[in-house]
């Protein structure tokens, strides 16, 4: 049975639609990849356990490699189903519709989608959740009058409590961690963001029949790719307070690791049920506690679990000393992403990154010695950076590429809502919240020389910054391929081979570009 067939089976009044809209990108961009919706899978499992009937309507999963253009927003397009196709999949008798709003760069399209859903379902309760609506709750409600209420922070328990209250009394006032406008148009927050501390009591994600197989058949995954990559989380939250990250607004600073027994049980279930080849950790900060890591690795070995591991979201380096890296390597971890963010000690101090760059570098080099594929993420042009800070970051990236790091992408600083830097820029009136701002966030790191390049650093011209970023990016790849020519053969095999296998994000994106060219490009347009 195809996962879409579940739509026709949901006729009860306790049916709840969970909707994810299409990917929004600048025309020609390849930096945003389609991935399974693990957040909605967790929510679906939780509300089913609570007695509701979730129906997942995922525009991305059902429209892989389908690109359509936004006539309303020239220069931008979507990958996935059109608005009309999304609405067609929502059950007619639905009483509550939850929409995922993770990325601020996609907000204008999400707002338009919610508006069209409202037109077709005038009596349904429309709920939004995710990082964007948590960071900009009141703004989202006022910018999208069709939206009734926002879930702030972790969604499982709050959304279930909202459903219980709504079905019992027709109101959601008093449910914690919500934001809404009252009858007088006054913004209300029922409480601050609440954390789920007993994460092991949550049911495992619910993946509809045939859903994951769509991504596997198309070779889609978060970072590098294998045949059957499983999204997974070992932890929730992050204990750090980097000023460019929205973690604190969404998750607070409480870091919660799962019990190893529950992790092992879930892994065994996926191996038995899906025959997975790899686990991709979607955690904000997967590896922090060294003792937990060593115990976990020992248990994986003792259980005889033989799969690959990767950390495409990035992780900290403190626990990844020689012993920690060896333990991960022994259980099949092949790909690690580090996020030093800058090669300048002054910048790291300003953004409260709280890392020792020398120790991180030592961890990276030890990981390369042990045979890992390594990616390092670096950010250029934080608002207070000097040209010397930027030069240090470029030089650090080139040095690491020369010493064997497989990928060293440079990103231009993006002021994401919910971050301390965003609030400062907004207070100083250095940015304005509007559709142009959100779309330029989408284009920021896919545009290199165009007018869409943004700089919130008063010292740095946007076009010059785009050229520097492009030059630095190309140079790091050139250095890597010239000094390590075996990578050329590896990349050719990954891109043109028949297997769903890639060793770097670069290889994965090249392979995906080839797949898109072979795909039929539809002429669908949203109904707006």
Tens digits of residue pLDDT in 386-401: 999 999 999 999 999 9
Q: Is residue 214 part of a domain?
A: no
Same domain for 181 and 259, yes or no, is: no
Locus of tokens 């007619």 = 92
Which residue, 176, 175, 110, 120, is CA-closest to 143? 110
First CA to last CA distance, the chain: 32
Same domain for 392 and 502, yes or no, is: yes
Same domain for 324 and 408, yes or no, is: yes
pLDDT at 160 exceeding the cut of 70:
yes
Q: Is residue 432 part of a domain?
A: no
Task: Determine the pLDDT at residue 525.
Answer: 42
Which residue, 76, 102, 104, 78, is CA-closest to 447? 76
**For the chain, how many structural domains are there in total?**
2
Same domain for 147 and 270, yes or no, is: no
C-alpha R_g of the chain: 23
Same domain for 179 and 234, yes or no, is: no
Of 166, 189, 212, which residue is a domain's last? 189
Structure tokens at 183: 């009858």
pLDDT at 12 exceeding the cut of 90:
no
Same domain for 145 and 227, yes or no, is: no
Q: Is residue 526 part of a domain?
A: no
**CATH label of the domain that carries residue 90:** 3.40.50.280
Q: Is residue 283 part of a domain?
A: yes
User: Is the torsion defined by CA of 61, 64, 69, 74 positive or negative?
Assistant: positive
Q: Model pTM?
A: 0.92
pLDDT at 450 exceeding the cut of 80:
no
Structure tokens at 432: 């304005």
**CATH label of the domain that carries residue 339:** 3.80.30.20
Beta strands in 290-363 (DSSP E): 308-315, 333-341
What pLDDT, in 10s, does the model give residues 28-76? 666 667 899 999 999 999 999 999 999 999 999 999 989 898 888 988 8
**Domain range for residue 305?**
220-413+457-513
Same domain for 49 and 127, yes or no, is: yes
Structure tokens at 2: 């195809």
449: pLDDT confidence band, cut at 50, 70 and 90?
low
Same domain for 335 and 382, yes or no, is: yes
Q: Which residues contact 281 (CB under 8 A, 6 or more apart)?
A: 232, 233, 234, 309, 310, 311, 312, 313, 315
Same domain for 145 and 36, yes or no, is: yes
pLDDT at 288 exceeding the cut of 80:
yes
CA dist 38 and 154 (Å) reads 13
């Amino acid at each position: 049975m195809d996962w879409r067939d579940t739509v026709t089976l949901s006729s009860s009044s306790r049916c709840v639609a969970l909707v994810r809209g299409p990917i929004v990108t600048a025309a020609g961009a390849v930096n945003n990849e389609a991935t399974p919706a693990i957040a909605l899978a967790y929510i679906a499992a939780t509300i089913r356990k609570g007695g509701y009937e979730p129906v997942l309507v995922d525009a991305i999963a059902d429209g892989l490699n389908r690109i359509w253009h936004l006539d309303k927003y020239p220069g931008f397009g979507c990958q996935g189903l059109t608005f009309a196709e999304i609405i067609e999949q929502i059950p007619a008798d639905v009483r509550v519709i939850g929409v995922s709003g993770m990325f601020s760069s996609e907000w204008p399209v999400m707002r338009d989608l919610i508006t069209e859903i409202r037109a077709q379902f005038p009596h349904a309760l429309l709920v939004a959740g995710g990082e964007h609506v948590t960071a900009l709750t009141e703004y989202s409600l006022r910018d999208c009058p069709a939206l009734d209420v926002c879930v702030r922070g972790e969604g499982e328990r709050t959304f279930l409590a909202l459903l219980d209250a709504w079905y019992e009394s027709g109101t959601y006032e008093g449910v914690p961690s919500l934001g809404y406008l009252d009858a007088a148009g006054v913004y209300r927050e029922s409480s601050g963001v609440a954390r789920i501390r007993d994460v092991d009591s949550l049911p495992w994600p619910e993946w509809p029949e045939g859903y994951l197989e769509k991504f596997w058949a198309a070779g889609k995954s978060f970072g590098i790719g294998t045949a059957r990559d499983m999204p997974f989380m070992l932890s929730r939250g992050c204990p750090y307070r980097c000023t460019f990250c929205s973690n604190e607004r969404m998750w607070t600073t409480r870091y919660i690791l799962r019990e190893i027994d529950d992790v092992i049980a879930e892994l065994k279930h996926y191996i038995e049920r899906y025959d997975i080849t790899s686990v991709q950790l979607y955690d904000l900060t997967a590896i922090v506690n060294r003792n937990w890591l060593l115990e976990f690795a020992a248990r994986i070995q003792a259980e005889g679990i033989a799969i690959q591991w990767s950390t495409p979201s990035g992780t900290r380096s403190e626990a990844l000393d020689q012993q920690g890296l060896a333990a991960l390597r022994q259980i099949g971890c092949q790909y690690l992403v580090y996020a030093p963010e800058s090669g300048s000690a002054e910048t790291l101090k300003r953004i409260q990154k709280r890392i020792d760059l020398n120790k991180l570098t030592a961890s990276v080099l030890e990981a390369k010695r042990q045979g890992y594929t390594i990616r390092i993420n670096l950010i250029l042009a934080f608002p207070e950076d000097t040209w010397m800070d930027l030069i240090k970051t470029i030089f650090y990236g080139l040095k690491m590429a020369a010493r064997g790091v497989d990928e060293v992408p440079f990103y231009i600083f993006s002021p994401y809502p919910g971050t301390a830097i965003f609030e400062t820029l907004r207070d100083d009136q250095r940015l304005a919240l509007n559709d142009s701002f959100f779309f330029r966030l989408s284009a920021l790191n896919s545009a290199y020389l165009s007018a869409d390049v943004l700089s919130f650093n008063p010292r740095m011209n946007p076009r010059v910054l785009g050229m520097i970023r492009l030059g630095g990016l190309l140079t790091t790849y050139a250095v890597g391929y010239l000094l390590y020519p075996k990578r050329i053969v590896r990349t050719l095999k990954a891109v043109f081979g028949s297997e769903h296998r890639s060793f770097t994000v670069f290889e994965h994106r090249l392979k995906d570009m080839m797949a898109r060219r072979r795909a039929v490009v539809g002429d669908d347009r949203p109904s707006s």
